[in-house]
Amino acid sequence: MEPKLTLVGAGPGDPELISLKGIKAIAKADVVLYDALVDESLLEYAPKEAIKIYVGKRAGQHSHSQDEIHKLIVDNALKHGHVVRLKGGDPFVFARGYEELAIAKAFGIKTESVIGISSVNLPGLYDIPLTLRGTNESFWVVTATTCKGELSKDVTLVAQSTATGIFLMGLGKLKVIVEAYRAHGKDKLPIAIISKGSRPDAQVIKTTMDNIVELAEKEQIKSPAIIVAGEVVGQELDQIKVDYLNQPLAYAIA
């Protein structure tokens, strides 16, 4: 028995948005430690005899501390062998994956990482591009809430730019995010909120900065949610002119 930790990104909710490599890792697990945002149907890929331990951390609910999770990783790897740490999204995008790798390595435990689809990619699932030719040249990914529970200072910097702003863990800071944009005259900037990722009960709302707070309250938008702000949000597929459709064919169809 060789102690091992494999970090696996489970994707943004839809169980089909996990990688094949991630599924193969789960199938070889002796122990699976899984998060609150992981679809539990993924546990079916684990061997029947594998130990499954819920280690979810959600606001307002009983949860494991990060230190407790570290202890579970080390203890189970040393006692049982292969631990798969199944995390929602990607283990290295505003997650604690690097810390979990570090603690395992400190105890001489072999480690492997299987990156996952991050919630940063969710807008594309709902036909919202992060970049669009002629509209913007970049996007910023910001955690709106710092580890101290404060608003990130980067929010103000994003609000000043032409970049698409993607705010994770920001629903509770929606009003101050909007204030940051409106302070720079962007009352009519398009904005969207994607709630509950790619799960069946996902919600998506689109409007402008001056209406988003009221609409989010009306629609009772819940966490987890990401906020997308920028001109790309206001684009509609039928507005995009595809010039080649009006051009003569360059070849003959037999």
Mind telling me the catalytic residues?
35, 57, 169
Rg from Cα positions in the chain: 21
Residue 121, by phi and psi: left (phi above 0), alpha (psi -120 to 50) or beta?
alpha
Counting Cα atoms < 13 Å in the Cβ hemisphere of 163 gives 16
Widest distance between CA atoms in the chain: 69
User: What is each CA distance from 108 to 71, 82, 193, in whole angstroms?
Assistant: 14, 13, 42
Beta bridge partners of residue 4, listed in sequence order? 82, 110
| Alpha carbons 140 and 162: distance in angstroms, whole number | 10
Q: How far apart are CA 186 and CA 114, in angstroms?
A: 39
Residues 83-115: b if buried by 16+ CB within 10 A, e if exposed: bbbbbbbbbbbbbbbeebbebbeeeebebebbb
Q: Which amino acid is at 151?
A: L
